[in-house]
């Protein structure tokens, strides 16, 4: 009797089980999805996750969301999408070198910032103040993929997205790779952008960091990646050497003191936060009038879902539409706000 022909997915899974590290997450051993789906004949479960995130509306909107500089006219400044792509590239390089699951790594990297607000972390701080239980973009990223877009991702991808932030620790090595790659990416590309914006100069950076990493972006990233691969190979944790970690933390601290806080990059922050706050309050009033039997928390969550998903330019359009006088014109409607209201059970 002729043996049953194996699917492409089964062949990939066999290669994973043969080639990947014993510490890697194997596609065939996934904890699965909340809602069971029949396996794909061509793609592993983690490849399906990656594709779903890549084709999501939330991912497309990242191209018009702030990384550090608000709505820059210079196309060479990073946006949240270009940041995400750089995280993915660094993380995939590390995972490949350590014989980890590159597909899971890519899925986590592409999804890790889907919950970011317009105007970057300044927008996140406003929503954190307004929401009764606070706002954390990693948790909102999970809400985006699980509830708003209902991508039905695997447990491992969700875990990596949820735990990519500094104070968290993913349960998989692939998630840990994305967690450190996120930091490597933003520190390095934000240095480049800050130099481009004439906020800092290469020679302004700490002398110890310059001596250890150099002032060249690619050399700095290469040193960090090589150090992680060398110190994590054959281990059940993703690690840096003590010296490299110390220099990296010093550089990160310097960036917070000289770029992320109290620099010209933040001159428009109060205005940006006011835009988000005013829109949030406006939409809460609108929904309260329309859904009289709904609880305040349900209404606020619905508005949070809507406003946090906006791009920089769209939030400015909605602010102008709602608060600035203009000649008569047909306005963009807010049908997605009301779709979210129904999804959140508002009555």
Claim to verify: residue 255 and residue 289 sit in the same structural domain: no
Residue 66 lies in a domain: yes
In a shared domain, residues 103 and 201? yes
Q: Please tell me which residue, 329 or 116, carries the higher pLDDT value.
A: 116
CA 123/CA 100 separation, integer angstroms: 35
Q: What count of other Cβ atoms lies within 10 Å of the Cβ of residue 11?
A: 10
Tell me, letter by letter, the H, E, C secondary structure of the chain.
CCCCCCCHHHHHHHHHHHHCCCCCCCHHHCCCECCCCCCCCCCCHHHHHHHHHHCCHHHHHHHHCECCCCCCCCCCCCEHHHHHHHHHHHHHHHHHHCCCCHHHHHHHHHHCCCCCCCCHHHHHHHHHHHCCCCCCHHHHHHHHHHHHCCCCCEHHHHHHHHCCCCCCCCCCHHHHHHHHHHHHHHHHHHHHHHHHCCCCCHHHCCHHHHHHHCCCHHHHHHHHHHHHHHHHCCCCCCCCCHHHHHHHHHHHHHHHHHHHCCCHHHCCHHHHHHHHHHHHHHHHHHHHHHCCCCCHHHHHHHHHHHHHCCCHHHHHHHHHHHHCCCCCCCCCCCHHHHHHHHHCCCC
225 within a domain of the structure (yes/no): yes
**Last residue of a domain, which of 214, 241, 265?**
265
Radius of gyration from C-alpha coordinates of the chain:
22
- CA 19 from chain centre, in angstroms, equals 29
55 domain-assigned: yes
Does the residue 206 lie in any domain?
yes
Give me the chain's average pLDDT, please.
94
- pLDDT level of residue 293 (50, 70, 90 thresholds): very high
Number of domains in the chain: 2
| Residue 188 within any structural domain of the chain | yes
Q: State pLDDT tens for residues 139-179.
A: 999 999 999 999 999 999 999 999 999 889 999 999 999 99
Whether 280 and 130 have beta carbons less than 8 Å apart is answered as yes
Angstrom distance (rounded) from CA 70 to CA 118: 9
For 204-239, the pLDDT digits (tens) are: 999 999 999 999 999 999 999 999 999 999 999 999
- Whether pLDDT at 329 is above 80: no
Domain end marker among 218, 245, 265: 265
Is the pLDDT at 1 greater than 50, yes or no? Answer: no
Q: What is the pLDDT of residues 89-99, one digit of tens each?
A: 999 999 999 99
Nearest to 67 by CA among 77, 58, 59, 57: 77
- CB neighbour burial string for 103-135, b if at least 16 within 10 angstroms, e if fewer: bbbbbbbbbbbbbbbbbbebbbbbbeebbeeeb
Kindly report the backbone phi and psi dihedral angles of residue 288, in degrees, each rounded to the nearest multiple of 5, phi listed first: -65, -40
pLDDT tens-place string over residues 236-248: 999 999 999 999 9
Is the per-residue pLDDT at 265 higher than 80?
Answer: no
Portion of the chain with pLDDT greater than 90, in percent:
88
- Which of 212, 232, 265 terminates a domain? The answer is 265
- Give yes or no: residues 237 and 286 share one domain: no
Predicted confidence (pLDDT) at residue 193 exceeds the cutoff of 50: yes
**Residue 70 near residue 271 (C-beta atoms within 8 A):** no
Residue-number span of the structural domain to which 275 is assigned? 269-343
Instruction: Output the pLDDT for position 75.
Output: 84
Question: Structure tokens of 310?
Answer: 């906006």
Average pLDDT over residues 56-84: 90
Q: Do 119 and 85 share a structural domain?
A: yes
Residues 303 and 180 reside in one and the same domain? no
In this structure, are 310 and 210 located in the same domain? no
Please check whether residues 247 and 338 belong to one and the same domain. Answer: no
Q: Is the pLDDT of residue 80 over 90?
A: yes
**pTM score > 0.95 for this model?**
no
One domain, residues 64 and 191? yes
All residues at 6 or more sequence positions from 223 whose CB lies less than 8 Å from its CB, including other chains: 212, 213, 214, 244
Please determine, for residue 102, whether its predicted confidence score (pLDDT) is greater than 70.
Answer: yes
| Per-residue model confidence (pLDDT) at position 219 | 97
Over residues 308-334, mean pLDDT: 86
Q: CATH code at 97?
A: 1.10.3210.10
């Amino acid at each position: 009797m002729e043996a049953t022909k194996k699917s492409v997915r089964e062949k990939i899974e066999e290669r994973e089980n043969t080639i990947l590290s014993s510490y890697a997450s194997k596609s065939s051993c996934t904890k699965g999805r909340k809602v069971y789906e029949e396996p794909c004949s061509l793609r592993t479960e983690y490849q399906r996750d990656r594709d779903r995130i890549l084709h999501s509306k939330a991912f497309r909107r990242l191209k018009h969301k702030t990384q550090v500089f608000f709505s820059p006219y210079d196309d060479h400044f990073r946006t949240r999408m270009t940041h995400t792509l750089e995280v993915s590239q660094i993380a995939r390089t590390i995972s490949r070198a350590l014989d980890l699951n590159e597909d899971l790594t890519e899925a986590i990297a592409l999804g890790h910032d889907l919950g970011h607000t317009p105007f970057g972390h300044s927008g996140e701080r406003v929503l954190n103040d307004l929401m009764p239980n606070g706002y954390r973009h990693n948790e909102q990223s999970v809400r985006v993929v699980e509830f708003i877009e209902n991508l039905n991702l695997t447990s491992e991808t969700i875990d990596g997205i949820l735990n990519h932030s500094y104070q968290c620790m993913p349960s998989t090595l692939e998630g840990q790779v994305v967690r450190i790659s996120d930091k490597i990416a933003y520190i390095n590309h934000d240095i480049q952008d800050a130099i481009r914006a004439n906020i800092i100069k290469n020679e302004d950076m700490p002398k110890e960091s310059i001596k250890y990493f150099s002032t060249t972006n690619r050399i700095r990233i290469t040193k960090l990646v090589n150090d992680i691969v060398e110190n994590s190979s054959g281990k059940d944790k993703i690690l840096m050497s003590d010296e490299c970690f110390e220099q990296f933390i010093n550089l990160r601290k310097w960036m917070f003191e000289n770029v992320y806080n109290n620099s010209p990059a933040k001159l428009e922050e109060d205005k940006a936060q006011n835009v988000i706050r005013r829109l949030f309050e406006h939409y809460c009033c609108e929904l309260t009038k329309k859904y009289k039997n709904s609880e305040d928390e349900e209404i606020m969550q619905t508005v949070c879902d809507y406003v946090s998903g906006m791009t920089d330019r769209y939030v400015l359009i909605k602010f102008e539409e709602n608060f600035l006088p203009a000649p008569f014109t047909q306005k963009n409607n807010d049908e997605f706000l009301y779709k979210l209201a129904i999804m959140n059970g508002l009555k």
